[in-house]
Every structure is written in C-alpha cells, then in structure tokens.
C-alpha cells in the first residue's frame, strides 16, 4: 500500500502539536505518513510569532498574529504546560508563572526544535484552495510559495486544519464611527500601549482583549481608559483611570455616546470585539462556521469534520485550556490517521457530538465550563498514549487565577503556581508585572535588579510595593 | 451557438468601465454575452468606496480601499474625465478642478447607475480561486458569498481581472522598526490626518502618498512632518513644518536614523512605500507579476494576458491617466470578446508587447511618460467606437499640473482647468483647499461661505488669503 500523504495547514501551537504527535509515534517505532505542513509565515509559532506589521503582511496576505510587544501570558503557565515537555525540562530551573511572549515562544518552539520536525514545514507558503476529489476521496490542495508567487496543486489523503481562530477580527459597525477622527483599530492590530500615554482610550469589548489592553494602557500612562461592554462589565476593581460603561450607541466626531446616556471624548478607539472562524481556503462544505466557543458544533470529539471525516480541525476550541488541549487533540487525530483508533460511522459520531453539545448548552457558570473542557480533554487523552496528568488540579489553577484577577487586576501576574506535571513551584519573579518595562526574554530570565528609571513607572501605589 | 459567459472581477473604476462598455454596445443593438461581475465590497466604486475599517474587513477579507476621509483628487478632474459622460452632464454646471472623494465617487457611480448595470454585479462576493479547464479552454471560477459563506464554482468563457493595484501595500522591513513604540501604519490604512495634530510624523516614501499625506498632516496641524526618500526628494517648496531626508537606515525606539547621519524623534511612522500587484485568486500561470508601472509586461495592448488570451486585465497600468484610460481598455476588451476586433496570434502579440516595452524603456522624463501613455490610449481608442478626444490637450493639463505642484504644493488644488471633452472652464471653488475643513459633497457643491471656526485653521500665511 502506498504511503498516505497528510497536509497540516498552519504551524502555530496546534500545528506544532500535530507535528510533535506524529514524530513521537515515529520515534516509538511507528510508520508515519508523509507529512507536509503549510505555514504562511516565515517561521512557526502562530500567534506567538510577533510581527510589527499590521493589516497586510509583506506578501499581501492578512497578518496572522494578534500579538503585541508587551504581552505576558494572561493565565498561569501551569495551566498550559505540555505533559510531555515540562517547563523544567526546557528552562532547567523554576521560572515565574506569567512569562512574557518571547519566553513562551521559546518554550513551545524549543519542544519542536528538539523533535527535529522543522523539515516537514514549508514556510512562507500559503494554502490558497482545497477541493475534495469525489472519485478518489482525496483532497487537492493548492498552495502558493509567497516569495516567488509559484502555485502548485498536490494530492493529500487527509487534511488537518490548524490555522487558529484569533486572526480574523470581528469589526462591527457603530453609528457615526466614520466621523471619529482619532485612531481606530481592532485589537488584532494593537502592537503595544506605549503610544497611548496621555491619551483617552475607548476599548469596545469586555473580554480578554479589552481587559489586558486596558491594563497595558494604564501601565503605560494613558490618561483615561473606558471599557464598553455589551452584556456585562468585567467588574474587577479597576484603578481610578479605568472605568466601564455599557455599549456605545453612536459616535459624533471624537465623542462616544453610551447606552446609559453618558458620553466621553476619546483619542483612540480599539475594537476588542473578538475574532471569527475564517477559512478562506476552504469550500463551504468543509469550512467550520461557528462562533468562537468552547464546543463548536460539527466536529466529532472536537476534531473530526462531520461532513468529511478525512478532514480534521486541531485547536478550533476556544479558551480555558490551550497548549495541552491542542496536544490531546493532535495525539487523537494522529491515532485516527494511523488507524490505531477506530473512526465511528457518521451516525455514531453525530450521537457523540449531540451528547457533548447538549451537556455544553446546559452549563451555567464559567467554573463549570472549565470542568467541562477538562472532561473533554480527559476523554481524548484516554484514547491515546499522551501522558495523563491531573486535570482536576489544572481546573483548580484556573479557578484560583479567575479569583486572583478579581482581587488584583494589576497584580495577578505576580502570583505563583505549582506545576501539575513536575510538582515544581514557580519562582517568584524578580520584578512585578506593573513595574517591569522590559518584556524581553533576557530580562525575564536574567537576574533582575536593573530597574528602569523611576520616571518610566506609572505613579501608582502598587508599583511602590516592589 | 450558446451565449458566452464573461466574468468581471471587481467593480471599481475599471470594472465599472467594463460594465459601461458592454452596456453601451447592447444599447446600440449588439448581442452581448452573459456577464457576472464579482465584487467583494457591498457597493461599487473600488478605491472610491470609503471604509472606516483598516486591515481586515467585516468579512475577514483584506480591506480593499486605501481612501482617506480628507482626500481630494490630486490631479485635475479634466485629466480623468470620461469621453462618453462629462462632468457637465453629471453635475449640470461647472465645478472645481479638484473635487473631494465623495464628489468623484458620485460622478463615476452616476454614470453606471444611469446605464442600469447594477444588475450584473454580485456584491459582497469574493472570487476565491480561478482555474483553467484544459479540455474546454474555459475557466472555473470559485466564489464565496461573504455574508453566508456559501462557495460555488461556475464556468466562464472569458475572465476580466479588474481588481486594481492600490490595495495590497508593500511593507519593507527597516532595522529596529520593531523597537519603534509609536504608531506605525502603511498609507493603505491611513484614514485621515486629524489625529496627527501636534504629532511628529515620519512618512517613508517620496511619491503621491507621501506628498499628499504630508500636506494633509500639515493642514491638520502636525508639529512636524519628515518625508524620507530612497532615490530623490520630491523637491517642491515645502512649508517650514515639512522637510525631506534620505532613507531611514534604522530605528532605535522612537528615533529614526537617516542615511545622511541625521536623526529625529517621531510619534507616528507612515509607510508610503507603494502597492503591489497581488492576485490571490489566480494561479501563477495567470497572475500578473510586475512592479506597478506605466507598462507592465506580459499584456498585449496592455490588456490581453499573453499566457492565455481569454484572460484580460483592465486597469493594471499605473498613473498619469486613469478613468478614461480604463474606458479605452474596457472598450477594446469588449470588442475582442464580441469578435469585432481580431485577436492576433501569440507571436504577433509578443512583437507588439516587445515594441511598446522597448519604447517604454527608452523614456527618460516624466513628461515623455505622459506622452507615451497618451499614445497608448490613442492606439486603443482608434480600434473602438469610444468617443475620441484631444489626448495632446490632456497631456498639456498633466504638464501644467506638475508645474503647479512645484510652484505651490499647498495651493495647486485651487487652480482651474478647461474640459477637453466639453470646453467648459472649471469653476473657481468657493474655498481654498487649505482653508476647507469639510470634505463632504454637500459642502463642495453648496454655495460656500460658511467657514469653520478660525481656530480649526492652520496658522499659515496661505490660509490668510481666503
């Protein structure tokens, strides 16, 4: 029998997990299929591969990453740790619980570098269009090598979509927004808050983007920050410079009017209005069309496309769990492709989808959503040889984290957690998040102590505690 | 014989010209093919269809238009007037020579509205992928209706690409640009200069984008504007607040260093580094791959794709002439498709391409480039029933315009020109460009006189003359 050919689209955290999954089987002696991973960026890491560019990249393609210079993990690293590659193994010693972007990128890329899977990836190569060949049941994948524009079409037996769901911004319209003469951008195009110093900033949204850009803007000296929510405020204890208001009804020049009748003058509007699943390379018969959610429909065990079980999605699920959930999905997809795990028929798959969706729909609290996602991951891990880990303990970490933000939105990143994988307690970091103005890996992993000049620091009681 | 099916991709100025060309033949009694015009935006007008959005649009697609709120035509309208639809016919009276965006949009959309061709256009529908069917010589065009995500593939006999070449920014890298903590954008994402008041602005580039964003920034009260050129400065007489410097060598935080050893501190960087031909829906066998130029290669008479003469490009040529050149191209493409004009064989086409390219390569001055383009248009018009007009006189207008910018970069838009089509002298506008803070159609076509409050106006000797 001819060797199967597998296409992986994307080499962000999910695509990297899929590469690691196959390589791990190969090293254990398995025959693995021929793998081609298509990556439109020049390097892997997906969201974690920072680019200064916004909007359209150097090849005329949408910039993939929504990353900003100053981003530190907004959840404890102990909740996303790989079960097969611990932080201890990578860094050789305990580090803090909330590493900045560059440190996390180092961790996730370190794992795959050590797996020697870079050879499977075609960088700067975008997938343009995928079709199903009805006669053979295979896929035709057309890709373009962006530096020279060459397109080619190849045949694959199975396709794994791992392009993520934080790249295509949702940009709702607001009455009169075209009369707002200040700067308008979506969080996707936010690259850092330094330019917001002394500015009045309106963030539309009440989820992670608004929350974190809000505190970044505060940290960098914004004069005032308003978060505008549609359903409910974030409701933590904000510093005086940050307030929350209900949804914008309309703009009139630089004045925003809110549904409670108040208004405010702003210099900058940042739409923190979320992201959409968007697969411009897939026909509608294959494209996942769902809101960002913990359990989007149409996917058996969250990964098998019900319309064609030779198409898989890895990393299509939203929040709480991330890297180790992608691993659980990737290991399971690998085993389906290798034939180690049986693919149920369409009816059985639908029953399973419906049962999980029914359970998901009944969830009333964020806490139960975390537990639901832990159960989902547990179900996947039980099918494969991915190292099992204490998911209940990770749930506890998530709940403690949520509580810590409520308690101290400007200081929660200074807390430390214990690794579920190794039992190692995170290091207390040398500098508080609010006082630290250098987000580099060198600074984070260095000895600390060299502080920026005093006048770079926000005049706030919290920084005084460092 | 079955009716032919023609796909037009894009309904900006070029696609509109193509629709008008076919409709004009139909009204004169010709049988025209079935036409489907695909337009990804919700309305036609291409660049002239202003959107407040930047980067990615509401459907996850690259924003097409590079238009900004305050844009007024940067060349006299007498140089772009349609020969078959004059400004007099549209507005019923003389107007100024440099209308703002909304007025020009009204003119170009007015012509096609009166032609009743909207019925041919599928709005909010993007072409995803085009393939050649080798067996039949036809094209398979796959499109997506963006609001519902439905994709479909249809067969066409001929395809006309009219997607423009000012939508995909070129974004070169600069050493250290990732350390610049102010705002960075490409001119494509510039939406207005009001937010540049009191800011120090660096524009990288020395062509139309840099020139016009520079004077817009000055008008809106920027503290200082630097234009950075690669080969040579624009070299007009700038006001004190604007200077020109050679190319940026590197950035160090908010400091830009230039190749002459000088440096400067900036709040905002705008890349006025131009645009690229980019056809993400075409395989490399069909995609024009050339720099923006007055005569890109590979196109017989500037419109027939040499690799497959059933594929046409309209509006692929850069600068001087615009709307009436698109007309000349569209009428000629129409006649080729209708069989009114013979398609030469590949060898004869190549000889013609080579002859024009040879002539183009020998051009030494901008003036000769204008004359070259006039000759190109004349050659096209002679093949069709498009109303002939005095191209030499349009050349004179272009030369006078170039001179006027040299003379008065802040005031050249106050000059008036005579129509080549109707002999009508443009009206002297009620307000100078520098003094006018309202760019709306109502204001421009209204009686004038109502001036904005004095403190909205730049404190500059030129405004005092109003």
Instruction: Yes or no: say if B125 and B132 are a contact pair by the CB < 8 Å rule.
Output: no
Across the interface, whether the CB atoms of A60 and B289 are under 8 A apart is answered no
State the sign of the Cα–Cα–Cα–Cα dihedral B200, B206, B210, B214.
Answer: positive
**What is the predicted pLDDT for the residue at A457?**
42
pLDDT for A448 equals 79
Contact A128, A110 (CB under 8 A): no
Q: B170: which chain A residues are within 8 Å (Cβ-Cβ)?
A: 58
Residues of chain B with pLDDT under 50: 452-466
The pLDDT, as a whole number, for residue B463 is: 35
First to last CA, chain B: 65
Beta bridge partners of A245: A228
- pTM, full prediction: 0.95
**Yes or no, beta carbons of B55 and A56 under 8 Å apart:** yes
pLDDT at A458: 43
**Helix, strand, coil tally for chain B in percent (to 5):** 30, 20, 50
Instruction: Mark yes or no for CB contact A52/B169 under 8 Å.
Output: no
Rounded to an integer, what distance in angstroms lies between the CA atom of residue A386 and that of residue A31?
18
Indicate the DSSP class of residue B49: S
Q: Walk along chain A (466 residues) and give the pLDDT tens digit of each residue.
A: 678 999 999 999 999 999 999 999 999 999 999 999 999 999 999 999 999 999 999 999 999 999 999 999 999 999 999 999 999 999 999 999 999 999 999 999 999 999 999 999 999 999 999 999 999 999 999 999 999 999 999 999 999 999 999 999 999 999 999 999 999 999 999 999 999 999 999 999 999 999 999 999 999 999 999 999 999 999 999 999 999 999 999 999 999 999 999 999 999 999 999 999 999 999 999 999 988 899 999 999 999 999 999 999 999 999 899 999 999 999 999 999 999 999 999 999 999 999 999 999 999 999 999 999 999 999 999 999 999 999 999 999 999 999 999 999 999 999 999 999 999 999 999 999 999 999 999 999 998 765 544 444 444 333 333 2
Question: Minimal Cα–Cα distance from B437 to chain A, Å?
Answer: 12
Task: With beta carbons under 8 A apart, name residues in chain B contacting A182.
Answer: 194-195
Contact A173, B58 (CB under 8 A): yes
Distance to chain B for A48, nearest Cα, Å: 15
| Bridge partner residues of A161 (DSSP) | A9, A313
pLDDT in tens, B26-40: 999 999 999 999 999
ipTM: 0.93
**Rounded to an integer, what distance in angstroms lies between the CA atom of residue B297 and that of residue B305?**
9
Q: What count of other Cβ atoms lies within 10 Å of the Cβ of residue B291?
A: 12
B382 CB within 8 Å of a chain A CB:
no
| Contact residues on chain B for A185, CB-CB shorter than 8 A | 54-55
Q: What is the largest CA-CA distance in chain B?
A: 70
> Looking at chain A from residue 200 to 239, which residues have their Cβ under 8 Å from any Cβ of chain B?
none
CB burial of residue B92 (10 Å; 0-12, 13-18, 19+): exposed
Instruction: Provide the chain B residues 268-297 that lie in CB contact (below 8 A) with chain A.
Output: 276, 278, 280-281, 283-285, 287, 289
- Residue count (chain A): 466
Q: What is the pLDDT of residue B451?
A: 53
């Amino acid at each position: 029998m001819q060797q199967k050919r597998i296409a992986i689209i994307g080499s962000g955290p999910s695509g990297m997990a899929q590469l690691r999954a196959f390589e791990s089987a190969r090293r254990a002696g398995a025959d693995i299929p021929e793998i081609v991973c298509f990556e439109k960026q020049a390097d892997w890491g997906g969201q974690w591969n920072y680019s200064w560019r916004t909007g359209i990249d150097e090849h005329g393609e949408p910039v993939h990453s929504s990353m900003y210079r100053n981003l530190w993990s907004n959840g404890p690293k102990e909740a996303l740790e790989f079960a097969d590659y611990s932080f201890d193994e990578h860094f050789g010693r305990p580090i803090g619980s909330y590493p900045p972007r560059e440190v996390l990128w180092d961790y996730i890329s370190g794992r795959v570098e050590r797996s020697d899977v870079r050879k499977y990836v075609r960088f700067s190569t975008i997938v343009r269009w995928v079709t199903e060949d009805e006669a053979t049941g295979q896929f035709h994948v057309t890709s373009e090598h962006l530096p020279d524009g060459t397109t080619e079409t190849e045949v694959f037996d199975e396709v794994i979509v791992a392009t993520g769901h934080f790249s295509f911004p949702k940009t709702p319209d607001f009455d009169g927004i075209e009369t707002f003469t200040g700067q308008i951008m979506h969080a996707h195009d936010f690259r850092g808050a330094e330019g917001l110093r002394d500015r009045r900033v309106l963030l539309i949204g009440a989820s992670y983007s608004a929350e974190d850009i809000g505190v970044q803007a505060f940290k960098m000296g914004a004069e005032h920050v308003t978060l505008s929510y549609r359903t409910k405020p974030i409701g933590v204890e904000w510093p005086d410079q940050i307030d929350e208001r209900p949804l914008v009804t309309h703009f009139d020049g630089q004045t925003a009017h809110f549904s409670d009748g108040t208004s405010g003058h702003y210099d900058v509007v940042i739409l923190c209005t979320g992201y959409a699943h968007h697969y411009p390379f897939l026909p509608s018969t294959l494209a996942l069309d769902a809101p960002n959610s913990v359990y989007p429909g149409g996917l058996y065990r969250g990964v098998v496309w019900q319309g064609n079980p030779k198409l898989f999605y890895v990393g299509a699920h939203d929040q709480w769990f991330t890297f180790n959930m992608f691993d659980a999905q990737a290991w399971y997809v690998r085993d389906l492709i290798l034939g180690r795990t049986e693919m149920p028929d369409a009816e059985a798959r639908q029953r399973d989808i419906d049962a999980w969706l029914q359970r998901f729909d009944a969830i009333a609290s964020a806490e139960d959503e975390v537990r639901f996602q832990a159960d989902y991951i547990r179900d996947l891990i039980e099918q494969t040889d991915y190292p099992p880990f204490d998911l209940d303990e990770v749930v506890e970490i998530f709940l403690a984290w949520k509580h810590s933000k409520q308690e101290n939105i400007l200081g929660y990143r200074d807390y430390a957690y214990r690794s579920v994988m190794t039992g190692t307690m995170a290091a207390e970091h040398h500098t508080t998040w609010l006082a630290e103005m250098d987000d580099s890996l060198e600074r984070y992993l260095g000895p600390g102590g060299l502080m920026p000049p005093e006048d770079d620091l926000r005049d706030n009681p919290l920084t005084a505690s460092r």
